[in-house]
Structure formats: C-alpha cells, structure tokens
Amino acid sequence: MLYNGRPIDLTPEEEEIATMFAVMKDTDYATKPVFVKNFWEDWKKVLGPKHVIQKLELCDFTPIFDWHAAEKEKKKQMSAEEKKQLKEEKAKAEERYAWVLIDGVGNFRVEPPGLFRGRGEHPKMGKLKRRIFPEDIVLNIGKEAPVPECPLPGHKWKEVRHDNTVTWLAFWNDPINVKEFKYVFLHQSSSLKGKSDEEKYDKARKLTSKIDSIRESYTKDFKEKDVEARQIAVATYLIDRLALRAGNEKDDDEADTVGCCSLKVEHVSLSPPNSLEFDFLGKDSIRYQNSVVVNEEVYDAIHDFKKGKKEGVDLFDRLDTSKLNAHLKKYMQGLTAKVFRTYNASYTLETQLKETLGATLNEKTAEYSRANKEVAILCNHQRTVSKGHSAQMERLEAKIAELKTLREELATDLGKVKKGKPPVHSTAKRPPTAEQLEKKLAQTDARIAKMTLDLSVKEDLKTVALGTSKINYMDPRITVAWCKRHEIPIEKVFNKSLLAKFAWAMNVEPNFRFCEADGGADEDP
C-alpha cells in the first residue's frame, strides 16, 4: 500500500488488517463514518504509537484492492475441473470434523478474522474481529470419546466438557460482543434438531386453543390500578398483536436496539384518536417503523406511561423480560414472547394462503411468496435493496419488450397466413403454417406472462427478507400441506437446506391446519 504517496512495508498482521479494509473499498461500508472510525481505532492499536502511519486519510489502499481483484479474477478463470479439485481437497481436510456418532455436525467452521459489518447502523461496524484460537474454544463431547486433535500445533483447547443435557458441541465468546457466544450445534437435518423444531411449532400451535382466553385476560387488566399489572397487560398486547420481541437491557457499548420491555418514551408517539407511531432500532439494528390503530384502553395506557417522563426513560418502567415471561407462563407452560411470534407468523401464513387463486404453477408460487412477505413484514425482517436490483429490472423489462415485439410480428404473420398470404417476418426457407404460428404465439404469451409476474414479484419483495421467517417462525407443515393440496413441488418453495432441516414435516397430510381451533387472531385490536 501507499502512505503519503510512497510505498510502505507492513508486518503480516498489519497487512492482514489493511487488506480487510481495502477489499471494502467499493462497498457502502467504506463511506460510513462509524465504520471507518472504528477500523482506524483498532488498526492503530496494532500499528503502535511510533508507526510511520499516523493519519488514515494519507493511506492509499488501492494496490491491495487491485491485488485482491486480480486474485478474484484468477479464481473466476479456473476451469470446472480445477474448482472441483479445490472443493474436494477442502472437503477432505474437513471430513474428520464433520461427523459425530449420532448425527452430522452443523457449521463447525470458526469465522475468520475480519472487519465487523453488522446490520443497519450498528455502532461497532468496522471494528476488528480478531482471530479465534483453540484456547478460546470449549468442546462438549462424550466421556469415552477421544478428544478431537487440535488443528494448530502448539495450541490446546480452552476446556473439554461432558454435558449430555445440551445439544451444543462447541462454543466461544463472540470477539465483538463478548457477552454473546458462538455455538457449533448438530446439523439442522439431525433427528434431535428436527425433534426440537417440531416441539417448538407444536407449542406455538397449542396457543391456538388458548389465545382467546389469554386475550380476554390481558384485556381486563388494561384498566388495572396496579401500574405493574397494567404495564404487563399492555406489553403482552403489543407482543401478541405486533409480534414484537421481548427485549433485553443493553450495555452502553452495545447497539441501541430495543424490544417491547426496553422501549423508551421517545420510541412510541401518540396519534389521536387511537393510533401509536413506533420508531426504534430492533434486533440487528434494523429500524422498526409502524403506525398501528390500537384498542382505546391501550392508547390511554401508553399516554399514562409516557406522562411526566423525559426522553431516555423506559416506557414500561415497572417491567422487565423476566417479569413478563414469568407472567406469560401463568397463561400456558413454556409461553414466551417468541412463542407468540411463532404463533402469529404461522397464523398469518396460513390465513394468507387460504384463498389461493393462481391457476399456473408460477402464479401459485408467487402467491406463496407474497404470503411469506406478509409474515416478514409482521416480524420486521427487512433488507436493503440490492445494488443490482435496478439493472435486473431493466433487463427483465427489455426482454418483455422484445417478446411483445415478437408477439406482434407473430400475430401479423398468422393473420396473413390465414388469408393465404406469405408471412412478412419469417426468414425460414419453408414458411411456417398457421398451426406452427399459433403454437409460437401461445408460447410467447406464456413467456410474457411469466416474466411480467417475475418482474412484479421481484419489485414487490425487494425490501423484505423472506428467509428468516421461513427458517425460524413459519410452521413448515403449513407449507408442505399447501404444496400437496395445490400439487406444487415442495422444491419450488423450500431450498435444499430447508428440505433437510424440515424432513420431519414432509409426511404431513394435505388437510393439515395449524389453527385447528379458531384462535380469534383476526379480530380487530
């Protein structure tokens, strides 16, 4: 790299961190002041106070960026055989770490060092994620099992445990958020993981038969004189109706993200006669903005909770997640905010899919995607519009325009052929028959319809992330049963990974219903 216009030598560690920053040159992160500031603060610690590099603005990372781009291009130019050989060599090296006696292992790879990106406007973006060593990792294996060989000579595992009450196989502290842990679990297709998933969705499904009585109970408490009881009732209402997370306390150096219990007074505004305006950073620093018409008693309660409080003060100042969850368990064993979230996500999907009107396979799968979208909106699963979205849309629109021109030509030629005249747009030696032109016309119409639908769906879904709700919140049996009822190959809505994860759900009957009893989730709030 260059410093103040001159080449400069770096140690391997200094160069590694510089490379992490250089490869981000053309991304949005490189333009974010917080990202750049955090990178510079962490890199300075490695450079040391006496290093020649003293100002980031005098650094030119272009040589490193160009080297990285050239290396990427080399990989692109590799033959299929060379890529296959590399893949096989990697798989062979990892093979011994990929299996346990009862099931396969999930993702057992430790994330390499790099610059933390985070989601949304995370305050720690750009900070250095240090390298994880064996001394950071705790293993969990059977008492009689041999301890896995440490892959780095001269190093050893932090600890080896024999705990058969948990399903994790290894963990280490997250290098950025040190209070959090990274785990290695059994593979998602394992029987134990599948059983755990099935129990999770069965618990949410059980809520169907209890939801009416739960709502009746917390509604009675909206006018409670006891402030804590009233706050619990309103918080439960918001978690139920808006699928909010419960929320936990955060340290000063953590992202200022909140859930229901940790809402501040400035996060909720009152809009007469009975609307609430929510605006806060949710999980992963994703902004939650929503305007909701609520029960008048809830509106009045929020007004009272805000009264006399300054910005930065808790809206629910008598409440925390432990109190809330303890109260929820009085309604149903094991009931938590996440169970409400899973229930409402699954209920929404099933409700949206009740009236499937599409005639073709593409129309039906588009309806499924839009139902999935409603769940993603409910759960605030957002994403930024991809850089290539506009270009993709332009290509699709251009292709549709070409097909429409072709259709006009085919229609003109068909009209002439039917009148016994030669077609004007055909270059074939043998002029096409009317039957051939009709067939081509029908095929072109089908292609136009498919591409127009693809264009509409792609535009409709550009800001929502469908995957998270599909993986974690929507009961897969709803999807499998729907596919069976409408004769849709399950591969059209579940990728290979989800097919393995939800193998336990594949034998469900076509008449399966998540909401066996009327849960009343479609009542007005």
Contact 378, 349 (CB under 8 A): no
The set of residues, in sequence order, having a beta carbon less than 8 Å from that of 480 and lying 6+ positions away, is 490, 502, 505, 506, 508, 512
Residue 473 annotated to the active site: yes
If one counts every other C-beta atom within 10 angstroms of the C-beta of residue 50, the result is 6
The set of residues, in sequence order, having a beta carbon less than 8 Å from that of 440 and lying 6+ positions away, is 410, 432
CA-closest candidate to residue 515, choices 468, 472, 478: 478
CA distance 40 to 188: 39
Contact 207, 345 (CB under 8 A): no
Where on the phi/psi map is residue 314: left (φ > 0), alpha (ψ -120 to 50), or beta? beta
Angle between the N-to-C axes of helices 434-460 and 361-378, in degrees from 0 to 180, rounded to the nearest 10 = 0
Catalytic member of 29, 288, 368, 473: 473
Task: Say which amino acid occupies 361.
Answer: L
Task: Say which amino acid occupies 468.
Answer: T
| Count of residues in the chain | 525
Order the strands of the 268-271 sheet from edge to edge: 268-271, 275-281, 287-293
CA distance 503 to 476: 10
Q: What's the longest Cα–Cα distance across the chain?
A: 90
Q: What is the CA radius of gyration of the chain?
A: 29
Pairing of strands 59-60, 2-3: antiparallel
> 291: helix, coil or strand?
strand
Angle between the N-to-C axes of helices 227-242 and 296-306, in degrees from 0 to 180, rounded to the nearest 10 = 120
Q: How far apart are the first and last CA of the chain?
A: 60
Burial class (CB in 10 A: 0-12, 13-18, 19+), 152: exposed
Contact 405, 371 (CB under 8 A): no
- Residues annotated as catalytic are 473
